[in-house]
Homo-oligomer: A and B are copies of this chain.
Amino acid sequence: MQEQVAAGIDIGGTNTVIGLINARGECLAREAIKTWDYPRVEDFVERLHVIAGELVAASGTTIAGIGIGVPAGNPDRGTVHASNLPWKGVVPIASLFEARFHLPVFVTNDAKAAVLGEMTYGAARNMKNFAVVTLGTGLGCGIVLNGEIVYGHDGFAGELGHVIVTPGGRACQCGRRGCLETYVSATGIKRTALELLATEIEDSSLRDLPLQALGSKSINEAAAQGDSIALKTFQRAGEVLGLALANLAAIIHPEAIFLQGGAARAGTWFHDAVSRSMNENLLFLYKGKVTVQRSSLHGGAIIGASALVWRAS
């Protein structure tokens, strides 16, 4: 008999990843596509259906269900309404996938999928109160309190990336200014580097890069070589995120905050700056009682999204 797997899909502002995950949380096969290559959502679903067929054939499995993690996904309605995806307005993503795959489909916020991963397979297995911050194109956040994922009144809790940290600050995709994710995300880090390259005069290897190549990855590589603009960029991003996490702690008092995603895997300079800034800004009540940790999960979002299928069955 063929092994039953869950398809985990992580729809991101840049890439969409689909993977087949077994009941032990192991990823047996995966593939990524560029989200913006599909301006029509129907073409996007069709392409993933083709890929899923190929992955199933190659791995000798059958799909029991589909878990989708997507920015601003609404778990109750199975819809998505995100500012950084190609499809405008409210998209009925669950019914579109159900109609094509004839399988049960579960939708969640991509950040909450990451939380499910930490709860099921990661370091948060025994924690009742924690948060996961995902650093990708944007900044997502999943929150667990009293052992339960926080969805809020209408499914949209955890939009930490859209907390306004600098009124009147950097323009955000959401139409407002000063949101945390304009400072702390792959995009935010690039913007900080641009700002420093404009305001400072010191030498930097970043000045030699084509502008297209400037990103959290190349800035991280420069930082590893001791480039001071690159190091200052991560230092600033760390300071902003650390303050935001201290403020988050004052509201929900988590035991730990896990950092996931590309920037979280940057050199220790970023993590150290976040941790130092959070501890400096922490109210005395929380001193020594909240830690910032790098996630041990890799590819967390598809793993977490797939957990939705096993939890429902």
A interface, CB within 8 angstroms of B: 72, 81, 83, 128-129, 141, 143, 145-146, 148, 150-160, 162-164, 167, 174-176, 243, 246-248, 250-255, 281, 283-286, 289-290
Contacts and interface: CB of A to CB of B under 8 A. Distances in A.
Given A243-B164, A283-B174, A251 B253 contact: no
A72 B285 CA distance: 8
A156 B243 contact: no
Nearest to A152: B253
Contacts of A243: 164, 167
Contact of A252 (B247, B251, B283, B290): B251
A4 to B, nearest CB: 31
Interface of A is mostly: loop
Q: Which of A145, A146, A286 has the most chain B CB atoms closer than 10 A to its own CB? A: A145
A282 to B, nearest CB: 9
A286 B143 contact: no
B251 A158 contact: yes
A252 to B, nearest CB: 5
Nearest to A167: B243
Contacts of A150: 145-146, 252
Given A159-B283, A164-B243, A176-B283, A289 B153 contact: yes
B151 A253 contact: yes
Contacts of A128: 153
Contacts of A246: 164
A33 B163 CA distance: 40
8 contacts: A83-B284, A141-B251, A146-B150, A155-B253, A156-B253, A159-B251, A159-B285, A163-B247
A301 to B, nearest CB: 20
B284 A153 contact: no
B154 A253 contact: yes
A146 B146 contact: yes
Nearest to A253: B152
A286 B251 contact: no
Given A163-B251, A164-B243, A167-B243, A153 B176 contact: no
A150 B253 CA distance: 9
Nearest to A248: B251
A156 B251 contact: no
